[in-house]
Amino acid sequence: MKKLLIASTSTVHGKAYLEYILPQLSDFFKGIHEILFIPYARPSGLTHEEYTNRAKEGFNKININLRGIHEFDNPVDAVNNAKGIFVGGGNTFLLVKQLYEHKLISTIKNVVENGIPYFGTSAGSVITGVTMQNTNDMPIIYPPSFDTFGFLNLNLNCHYLDADVNSTHMGETRETRINEFHTINKIPVLGLREGSWLQVEGQKILLKGDLNARLFQQNKPAIELPPETDFSFLM
């Protein structure tokens, strides 16, 4: 049975890396002393080692050790032997390309669908959807496919931002871009605001945190849904 914690972001304003969600992570990975970290998204040009060290600082606070997948000779074996997995944020295009190159899409999907707990933030959350097509990231590199894990029967727009009614900016809003996606695609899209996350157990998907999420569906008005909403109806 799938067990996932899918967070919009790793860091909320005014708090340290993962600080806002550490109590939930402690419970989520209860009984697990070491998890595998996948740093392939590499935010702001960090090396894999630098990014892993940042993630370690967060997990050290709840007495869980992290090992970066780059520390292993065989990435597939590392995933198959992992007791838990964390995929961090950064650039989704880079992340997906690396996952395909290392033949990890099917490998991670298999272990997670067989019960290994998966935690994702930002780009690491986007890839839990059907495709990565609702990422906010620049296409700095071209992955072989936009198809991702499909743990959810929807796509995610992490760091979702509402339009500022006082802004004079004439560019597209997040809502405009998601609606554009729906002129061609039928996949539902959930706008997940910073500080929110999805808790997934099997087919049950609960919205957690203090903020609403915004659900977009083709040919339907967008709707606001409150914390504790069960999104299983989309599965």
**Pick the catalytic residue: 10, 122, 125, 196?**
122
Question: Is residue 8 annotated as part of the catalytic site, yes or no?
Answer: no
Q: Render pLDDT for 202-227 as a digit per residue (tens, 0 to 9).
A: 989 999 999 999 999 999 999 999 99
**Pick the catalytic residue: 48, 70, 159, 182?**
159
Give the residue among 18, 128, 47, 32 at the shortest CA–CA distance from 81: 32
Structure tokens, 168: 């004079």
Q: pTM for the whole thing?
A: 0.96
Q: What pLDDT sits at residue 164?
A: 83
Q: Render pLDDT for 19-53 as a digit per residue (tens, 0 to 9).
A: 999 999 999 999 999 999 999 999 888 999 999 99
CA 15 vs CA 11, 18, 42, 86: distances in Å: 7, 8, 21, 20
Q: What pLDDT sits at residue 178?
A: 98
Q: What pLDDT sits at residue 130?
A: 98
User: Half-sphere exposure (CA, 13 Å, Cβ side) for 43?
Assistant: 16
Q: Render pLDDT for 101-147 as a digit per residue (tens, 0 to 9).
A: 999 999 999 999 999 999 999 999 999 999 999 999 999 999 999 99
Burial class (CB in 10 A: 0-12, 13-18, 19+), 233: exposed
Which ranges of the chain does DSSP label H, i.e. alpha helix?
A: 22-28, 48-60, 75-80, 92-101, 105-113, 123-126, 174-181
Q: How much of the chain, in percent, has pLDDT values that exceed 70?
A: 100
Does the pLDDT at position 174 exceed 80?
Answer: yes
Confidence of residue 171 (pLDDT cuts 50, 70, 90): confident
Q: What pLDDT sits at residue 166?
A: 81
What angle (nearest 5°) sits at the alpha carbon of residue 11, between those of residues 32 and 28? 20
**Pick the catalytic residue: 8, 10, 102, 137?**
137
Q: What pLDDT sits at residue 168?
A: 80
What are the structural domains, with CATH classification, of the chain? 3-234 (3.40.50.880)
* Burial per residue of 197-216, b for 16 or more beta-carbon CB atoms within 10 angstroms, e otherwise: bbbbeeeebebbbebbbbbb
Q: Which residues, in sequence order, are bridge partners of residue 199?
A: 5, 206
Question: Is residue 122 annotated as part of the catalytic site, yes or no?
Answer: yes
Question: Is residue 137 annotated as part of the catalytic site, yes or no?
Answer: yes
Q: What pLDDT sits at residue 1?
A: 86
Pairing label, strands 155-158, 197-201: unpaired
